[in-house]
Amino acid sequence: MTQTIEIPIVGMDCADCAMHVQKAIAAVPYVLSADVLLGAEKALVEVETPPDDLALIRQAVAEAGYTVPGGQDVRPPIAAADFTGKVMRLFGLVFGAVLFIVVIGEWMGLFERITENVPWYLGLGVVLLTGYPVFINVIRAALRGKIIAHTLTTMGLLAAVAVGEWSTAAVVVFFMRIGDYAESFTAERARRAIKELSALAPQTARVLRDGEETVVPIEEVQADETVIVRPGEHIPVDGEVLEGHATVDQSAITGESMPVEAGPGAKVFAATLAQLGSLRVRVTHVGRETTFGRVIQMVEEAEARRADIQGIADKFATWYLPVVAGIAALTFAFTRDPLATTAVLVVACACSFALATPMAMMASIGAGAKRGLLIKGSKYLETLARADVLLIDKTGTLTLGRPRISEVIIVDSGLQIADRDSGDQPAIKNQKSEILRLTASAERYSEHPLAEAVRAAARERSLPLSKPQDFEALPGMGLRARVDGHAIAVGSRRMIAPDARLPEADALEAQGKTLLFVQVDGELAGFLAAEDTLRPEIPAALAQLRRLGVDHIELLTGDNVRTAAALAARLGVDCQAELLPEDKIAVVKRYQAEGRTVVMVGDGVNDAPALAQADVGIAMGAAGTDVALEAAHIALMREDWTLVPQVFQIARKTMQVVKFNLGFTAVYNVVGLSLAAIGVLPPILAAAAQSLPDLGILANSARLLRQD
């Protein structure tokens, strides 16, 4: 039986670093697979049997040039936003100043004079000293038969030193290190969203034990214990409020800045802030099992689900070195000019191909997490960007999911129902309150939103509920149970009364209401009409999605045709009704078979199979919902339809940035190699030019961190 273990890794600061470490770990004998996550600074390693120690993995990581710290996950401190911004601006100023000096110096012939007057061994010493960390990684990779992005740059350095251009080699090392530092800070800025969220998780909890409040480490808190939360404290666990009232800021989970009121019976989540009031909370989940813990884990692991376009870029970077080496060989064969040949090797930039995709993806996933958009991998951003079919569930997705019973209608079928409150049990014909009581009793343990509406209607009329027996849920249809000796069936018209002529039911369905038909002892007794409220932001959100290029939007529901058609006509979308969960899967597969890219939006409970089958499944209001977090590829942590077009926009903008990065890199390298090969670009200017694509890609990708 395989198992996945997490291993923290210190020292990675670029996409190529992560790929290099991943290959090193994957080569360890007992490792089945490995995913190294630059953003989370850890590796997810799949093994057949967990090893007693990590000696071999530590050794492999060390040989790759990095470190596995002892103990638990070790993270560097969070870099302040203003500090990171100042450092990035400083990099830009230094880079620009040195580039200006290089250009002017080359024009005035200063570098030739320096090279002539300074002993070569001093220049070589400067190159070796400043480039030592890079050279060590290149040598280690070469000994393992691997090629990394800096391998090509190192070849250029060797060529420059060989032809006496040590000043060129020094400039290459300078710009290479500047680029590495810039990438490191950009990566840190991208992962800062995760770190800032992680920092919100309380490390201790105030637990009520033996009648006294005791502060204990969070890992010692147990399920069903009572936790005390005072005003101004972060809630340390997921749980249910037992006593007290508080205003809770849930932005860490949902991204919503407006606080919510929490009182007895309300669900609260770890890392949220009790701003006003105090609470006593019964613990349901602790630590990594909380909604907050799982969100952090999923965002960290999103990097492992890489976009297809990233794989293409990685393969291209692998083949780039032999291509450049071939161009250099041809340049020397035709020109016999060692300087031109050196310039070809120096100007080539392989790092930019490795950076083009992961930096943009990491930035978008991190920025989305802070806004309550849980994107589980870059592959889903890539897929979402080209989606053209949107399928939508109704209850809890398009509607608020809090329906109410508006009518109880009795069908005059001659059915006699005994009055349980009467001593001599006289027959009372089709009494509305008794039909409602029997239905609410049968629905007593159901989690469907309509069941809660039925129970609420019974509570409003103060009807006492009985305990159902032989309860059987029928997904997509309804339920059966025995209540007070009666065989009760509650469900759709298709289940209860497929052939009955009921004009009043037809009229209510035409108004867009959902009907629950009730059968007592095998006879149709009546039906309940439920109405739900359409989310007010839906029409504007759908209009925005159409502008974004989603050309087919369709409603999928288990409701009857009339109810679905009324809502679909109101929204201007297509619809399919009376669908079971397997029917929704079939609809998704049919569109996929036609070559369409399908996005499914649902509440993540009844729609979990369809969400998983879709190319991209989006779950609404996933906070605290295990099924939604697991089944969906993208989870919207609050019930807000404005987030749906937002995540589409993020995906499209991200892919625009990625494609620009790749296109810019390709054109830049083609031009640079061509100018170097014909002798227009001397080695010293080639050295200055080779880091420009890296900084351009980093700056372009960093724009995604500020998406509105």
Token pair, residue 282, equals 């019964």
pLDDT of amino acid 40:
65
- What count of Cα atoms within 13 Å lies in the side-chain half-sphere of residue 501? 0
Residue 222: left (phi > 0), alpha (psi -120 to 50), or beta?
beta
Cα gap 216→218, rounded to integer Å:
6
| Cα dist from 454 to 341, 461, 515, 527, whole Å | 81, 11, 11, 11
Token pair, residue 97, equals 């100043």
What confidence tier does 588 reach under pLDDT thresholds 50, 70, 90?
A: very high
Asked if residue 77 has pLDDT above 50, the reply is no
| Cα dist from 176 to 134, 155, 171, whole Å | 9, 13, 8
Handedness of CA 698, 700, 701, 707 (dihedral sign): positive
Tell how strand 514-520 and strand 523-531 pair up. antiparallel
What confidence tier does 303 reach under pLDDT thresholds 50, 70, 90?
A: low
Asked if residue 85 has pLDDT above 70, the reply is no
Asked if residue 624 has pLDDT above 60, the reply is no
b (16+ CB within 10 A) / e for 15-28: bbbbbbbbbbbbeb
Q: What are phi and psi of 301, to 5 degrees?
A: -85, -5
Cα gap 105→168, rounded to integer Å:
12
Three-state DSSP class for 473? strand
pLDDT of amino acid 301:
63
- Mean pLDDT score, 213-225: 89
The amino acid that residue 120 corresponds to is: W
- Cβ neighbours, 10 Å, residue 181: 16
Please tell me the least confidently modeled range out of 413-417, 492-496, 653-657, 682-686: 413-417
Question: Model confidence over 13-37: pLDDT tens digits?
Answer: 566 677 778 888 888 888 888 888 7
pLDDT of amino acid 190:
56
- Mean pLDDT score, 283-295: 83
Cα gap 619→633, rounded to integer Å:
8
pLDDT of amino acid 81:
38
Q: Which residue has the higher pLDDT, 448 or 414?
A: 448
Cα gap 82→75, rounded to integer Å:
20
pLDDT of amino acid 194:
60
The amino acid that residue 592 corresponds to is: Q
What confidence tier does 651 reach under pLDDT thresholds 50, 70, 90?
A: very high
Please tell me the least confidently modeled range out of 110-114, 421-425, 452-456: 421-425
pLDDT of amino acid 75:
35
Query: Exposure of 82 by Cβ count < 10 A (0-12 exposed, 13-18 middle, 19+ buried)?
Result: exposed
Helix runs in 78-119, H state only = 81-108, 110-117
- Mean pLDDT score, 217-243: 90
- Mean pLDDT score, 291-316: 67
What confidence tier does 500 reach under pLDDT thresholds 50, 70, 90?
A: confident
Q: Which residue has the higher pLDDT, 694 or 266?
A: 266
Q: Which residue has the higher pLDDT, 47 or 121?
A: 47
Token pair, residue 168, equals 């060129």
Q: Residue 466: CB partners within 8 Å, gap ≥ 6?
A: 437, 441, 483, 484
Average pLDDT for the chain:
79
- Mean pLDDT score, 72-80: 35
- Mean pLDDT score, 641-653: 92
> In the chain, what are the domains?
3-63 (3.30.70.100), 81-196+299-362+653-706 (no CATH), 222-285 (2.70.150.10), 366-400+534-650 (3.40.50.1000), 404-531 (3.40.1110.10)
Question: Model confidence over 503-541: pLDDT tens digits?
Answer: 898 888 888 788 899 999 988 999 999 888 888 899 999
Q: Residue 101: CB partners within 8 Å, gap ≥ 6?
A: none
Cα gap 263→247, rounded to integer Å:
9
Cβ atoms of residues 19 and 188 within 8 Å: no
Q: Is 583 tagged catalytic?
A: no
Longest dimension (CA), the chain: 120
- Mean pLDDT score, 389-415: 81
Asked if residue 607 has pLDDT above 50, the reply is yes
Q: What are phi and psi of 615, to 5 degrees?
A: -60, -40
- Mean pLDDT score, 568-597: 90
pLDDT of amino acid 357:
82
Residue count of the chain, please give it: 708
What confidence tier does 438 reach under pLDDT thresholds 50, 70, 90?
A: very high
Cβ atoms of residues 66 and 10 within 8 Å: yes
Winning range, highest mean pLDDT, from 439-448, 601-610, 626-635: 439-448
Q: Which residue has the higher pLDDT, 175 or 283?
A: 283
- Mean pLDDT score, 699-707: 77
Three-state DSSP class for 67? strand
- Mean pLDDT score, 278-284: 92
Q: Which residue has the higher pLDDT, 579 or 678?
A: 678
Q: Residue 346: CB partners within 8 Å, gap ≥ 6?
A: 153, 156, 157, 159, 160, 168, 172, 676, 683, 686, 687, 690
Three-state DSSP class for 263? coil
The amino acid that residue 656 corresponds to is: Q
Cβ atoms of residues 602 and 620 within 8 Å: yes
The amino acid that residue 82 corresponds to is: D
- What count of Cα atoms within 13 Å lies in the side-chain half-sphere of residue 145? 1
Asked if residue 420 has pLDDT above 60, the reply is no
User: Which residue, among 388, 391, 387, has the nearest Cα to 574 in the 3D structure?
Assistant: 391
Token pair, residue 399, equals 């509607």
Asked if residue 110 has pLDDT above 90, the reply is no
Query: Exposure of 107 by Cβ count < 10 A (0-12 exposed, 13-18 middle, 19+ buried)?
Result: exposed
- Mean pLDDT score, 578-598: 90
Question: Model confidence over 148-173: pLDDT tens digits?
Answer: 667 777 877 778 777 777 777 777 77
Q: Which residue has the higher pLDDT, 420 or 567?
A: 567
pLDDT of amino acid 226:
93
pLDDT of amino acid 3:
76
Cα gap 476→607, rounded to integer Å:
10
Set 35, 180, 393, 559: catalytic member: 393
H or E element, residue 522: none
What confidence tier does 281 reach under pLDDT thresholds 50, 70, 90?
A: very high
How many DSSP H helices and E strands does the chain contain?
27, 28
- Percent of the chain with pLDDT strictly greater than 70: 77
- Mean pLDDT score, 548-574: 88
- Mean pLDDT score, 130-147: 75
pLDDT of amino acid 83:
40
- Residue 92 DSSP code: H
pLDDT of amino acid 486:
92
User: Which residue, among 639, 627, 409, 644, has the nearest Cα to 517 in the 3D structure?
Assistant: 409
- Cα separation of the two ends of the chain: 45
